Structure 1
Amino acid sequence: MRRIETNNYIFLFCFYGGISIIGLIKGLIILVPVLILSIFGFTGIALILLPHDVYFTYRVLLKTSIIGINLKFLYVLLLPLALVGWPILVLFLSICFSFIYSFLSPIVKTFDSDYELTFGGIYETFKEMEYYIEMFWDFNKKKFFSYLLDIERREVNEPFDINIIQIIIELFLACYGSVVGIIVLTPIWLIKLIPLVIRLYYIFIKWIMELSLHTFIMFSIFFIIYFCLIPAIGVSSILICVVYSLFGGIQCAIEGYKHNFLRGLICIWGYIYDVDLASNLFIFDKKYSCFPNCKNT
């Protein structure tokens, strides 16, 4: 429920602008405590349960009959990377989540008349964060490993396996695809970064122009914040290129296994084509790419 309804736009600007500022101040006040709670909560759980994760993961891997000995050997070599990287990933995501939630939650609750204007939403944000941490504990301690135990118990007539030479080839294709994707897409991203930011500003301003004056005034503080964050959003788009390159590398290995080595080598260029095509369509509103579509080659 909103706190007030009025057609006095000057009053609306002062009132909702003031409420937004109050919400932002509350977000700043609880940012560090929520950040500490989030880091110690989520990352602490990941570290505490790491021995548990290692034991159950290797147990399931070695006892399952779904995959053969060669793949088990490969997974035994690669699993430490995933297990060590898991707490690091949790730390990164918990920081991002706490930053967003510590601001968003009190701001939203400040606009809600069910919460007290000055301090409402602060205590509730901590309680909600505590609830999410408990959910994370429950998922990591019980639910996730129940899925792994199902894999351990599953019986198949013939396990899936790949010979050692094929595994080496697929690993090469995966690394090749990821490296080529990153090397090619990074300069493309650099070239298109400024046009991308300009396009984001254009879309944002066009969207703002279509809003009613009442809506614009109500959420003006958020529009200002988003306007300032657009360059950061543009820069963060490099993550899309990196993730897509890594995914393309995996797909190279799959294509090489399913078809042939040459198909695996060519596959990554199809993903580069996709990124170039999609970015040109979004930024320039033109459906073209400088690269050939090699996906079906």
Structure 2
Amino acid sequence: MSIMEPSQGFFASIWRFLYFLPFFIGLLVLGIVKGALLCPFICLIMTIGNSAIILGLWPAHVIWTYYCILRTKQLGPILKIVLCIGISLILVVWPPIGVLSSILAGLGYGFLAPIIATFEAVGEGKTNMFFHCFWDGTWDTVKGSFTVVRDLKDVAFNSYFSLMDDLRLQDPPNGEPHELRLLYVLVAIIVGVIGIIIDLPMITLIALFKSPYMLFKGWKRLFQDLIGREGPFLETACVPFAGLAIILWPAAVIGAVAASSISSLFVGGYAAVVTYQESSIQKGLAYVVASLSIFDEYSNDVLDMPAGSYFPRPRYRKQELLHSGTLSRPTSFNREKQEGKKPLHKTMSFKNKVLEYKPIKLLGLLLIECKRHGEALIAEGVITAKDIEETKSNKEGSRIIAIGLPAYCILQALLRSIKANSDGLLLSDQTELTLENKPKDTFFEWFLEPLLILKDQIKSVNLSEEEENYLCKLVLLVGDPKRVGDIDVGMILQNERRQAEIGAFARRLQGITKSISRSPTFKRRFDDLVKALSEELEKKIGGSLSSNGSRSTQRSISGFGRLFSQKSFGRKTSNKGVNDQGEVHP
């Protein structure tokens, strides 16, 4: 029996724990030594790199932020003035906070990463453990520190300016800019203060009342896992942190109570937002009462206590819609327990439970699909050398790869989910991701629900095969208006209203994809994807992707363009050909 398997029986568990203890102490000491040696160097890399980015781009961020706020058509004059005043504080404190965070992140990452890697080196299935105990967590940690700096650069240089450009260029919704209603602002502030006065002591008392239960239940569970080598003690890499959790669990409980007390300021203050949004003092006061019930139910779910609350929960919205920013109850735990639904995580490993289907995992799946579909589209001549070159040089001339290709892959997942009659999103590995079993992560709140709403909207219109084919083309080619315009829409869509609906679906999906592309690690991973597609194109045609030879390259792949239909879009259509610029004419 492997030492990684949970033991059976009390005495066997004690013996295996004592047998494992010397190895654990030795690995911990080795990891601490490596962490102590690497920590100053890693901290220096991250501090210098991140600080240079933060301080170097700070003047540009300040100027561009004010410029975009003042030029946007989405905001009214009063709101622009208020935002400029409020944003000044954020811009002033950002450099010192950013530099301090870089120092702390460098110290934490430089010390903890080698310790984790040392324990992972003796995990199940590892070979040459002695060598990896010393080597793992050294060079990998150094490379990881440079990766952190690069991700920050991508966010500060690409994502931020892209977000501000959207604010500056987009037209206001419904043609009316957002503006402050000064009378309701004053009333909302008063209700927000009332909410803080009521929720601060009440939520603190609720947290204090449940803290003994949290303390003893947490200790009980941790000691059971320690003796039986289960839960967080199952994976060797997690053992030191799980053991530390036993010692520091009282501090964790105190921290949870303090966090609840601090969060009550925001929970109670949100009554001002409700009052302003609903234009009603009554609704704002109703939220103050309902927030106590919501917090009570939320804490019951977290602590696995009986569901429900004795606090009343009046309606505080005129329409029962999910408003972003409100405190919502996690329903996944109780629903899975009551309805017997299969949870998302399918393995018993604690490590896999932590990593399975985190945002970075879903981004990885998306990019894998982008590579698979991208290679097929290259073979068919849909994606050209010009597209790849302009993407690599960050030109605005072609967004087919940067936005169109990821959006096309997401659309394929939506269509696959519709055809499978799935309640959620059917991923490429056949895992169903729904609102009930999704991980509790802000990423999923921002993107999963809009995608599911879009999926239901597409399903409700019952697209024909021709319409589905047109939607796929429109999503992929929306970055190039001329190539989209070359599609003979009249042969597919006769109803102008139907065409407008499909165009709205494409634009909505493009917007969601653009938001996803601004995530910290996306740019780095996407650059690797573009490099792989570039190599695939060179392999297919045996040519060069240099700017001088791009025109001849596009001529070489024109023959593949005649296949543009059946493999990528589900049906075969007639084609008129592909011109010298690689433009596809269906």
Interval containing the TM-score (normalised by the shorter chain): 0.7 to 0.9
2:220 partner amino acid:
Y
- Pick which of 275-284 and 65-74 moved more: 275-284
CA contact (8 A) 1:64 1:153 kept: yes
CA pair 229-45 structure 1, distance change in 2 beyond 3 A: farther
Aligned to 1:270: 290
- Pick which of 282-291 and 140-149 moved more: 282-291
Q: Tell me the SS of whatever aligns to 1:117.
A: helix
Given the alignment, which residue of 246, 250, 253 partners 1:227?
246
CA distance, structure 2, for counterparts of residue 73 and residue 37 of structure 1: 39
CA distance, structure 1, for counterparts of residue 288 and residue 48 of structure 2: 40
Q: Tell me the SS of whatever aligns to 2:134.
A: coil
Larger radius of gyration between Structure 1 and Structure 2: 2
1:235 partner amino acid:
I
CA distance, structure 2, for counterparts of residue 201 and residue 11 of structure 1: 23
CA distance, structure 2, for counterparts of residue 295 and residue 92 of structure 1: 43
Q: Tell me the SS of whatever aligns to 1:286.
A: coil
- Number of residues paired by the alignment? 293
CA contact (8 A) 2:195 2:268 kept: yes
Which one has more relative contact order, counting CA pairs under 8 Å at least 6 apart? 1
CA contact (8 A) 1:26 1:119 kept: no
CA distance, structure 1, for counterparts of residue 301 and residue 206 of structure 2: 14
CA contact (8 A) 2:284 2:316 kept: no
Aligned to 2:255: 236
User: How far 1:181 moved relative to its partner?
Assistant: 3.1
CA distance, structure 1, for counterparts of residue 98 and residue 196 of structure 2: 23
Given the alignment, which residue of 28, 36, 45 partners 2:53?
45
Matches within 5 A, 1:275-286: 275-283=295-303, 285-286=305-306
Aligned to 2:88: 80
User: How far 1:66 moved relative to its partner?
Assistant: 0.7
Aligned to 1:164: 182
CA contact (8 A) 2:72 2:169 kept: yes
User: How far 1:61 moved relative to its partner?
Assistant: 0.7
CA distance, structure 2, for counterparts of residue 94 and residue 259 of structure 1: 42
User: How far 1:22 moved relative to its partner?
Assistant: 0.9
RMSD: 3.5
Q: Tell me the SS of whatever aligns to 1:146.
A: helix
CA contact (8 A) 1:12 1:217 kept: no
Residue 67 of structure 2 is aligned to residue 67 of structure 1: no
User: How far 1:65 moved relative to its partner?
Assistant: 0.3
CA contact (8 A) 1:166 1:257 kept: no
1:28 partner amino acid:
A
Question: Which TM-score applies when normalising by structure 2?
Answer: 0.44
User: How far 1:187 moved relative to its partner?
Assistant: 4.0
Matches within 5 A, 1:1-297: 9=16, 12-87=20-95, 89-91=97-99, 93-94=101-102, 97-110=105-118, 111-112=120-121, 113=128, 116-118=132-134, 120-156=136-172, 157-178=175-196, 180-211=198-229, 218=236, 220-237=239-256, 238-243=258-263, 245-283=265-303, 285-289=305-309, 291-296=311-316
Structure having the higher helix fraction is 1
- Pick which of 77-86 and 134-143 moved more: 77-86
CA contact (8 A) 1:186 1:241 kept: yes
CA distance, structure 1, for counterparts of residue 28 and residue 108 of structure 2: 15
Q: Structure 2: any 5+ residue segments left out of the alignment?
A: 8-14, 122-127, 318-586
Aligned to 2:453: none
Deviations 1:15-48 (A, max 9, x none): 3441232112222333344344444443553344
Q: Structure 1: any 5+ residue segments left out of the alignment?
A: none
Sequence identity (%): 20
CA contact (8 A) 1:23 1:108 kept: yes
User: How far 1:166 moved relative to its partner?
Assistant: 2.3
Q: Tell me the SS of whatever aligns to 2:306.
A: coil
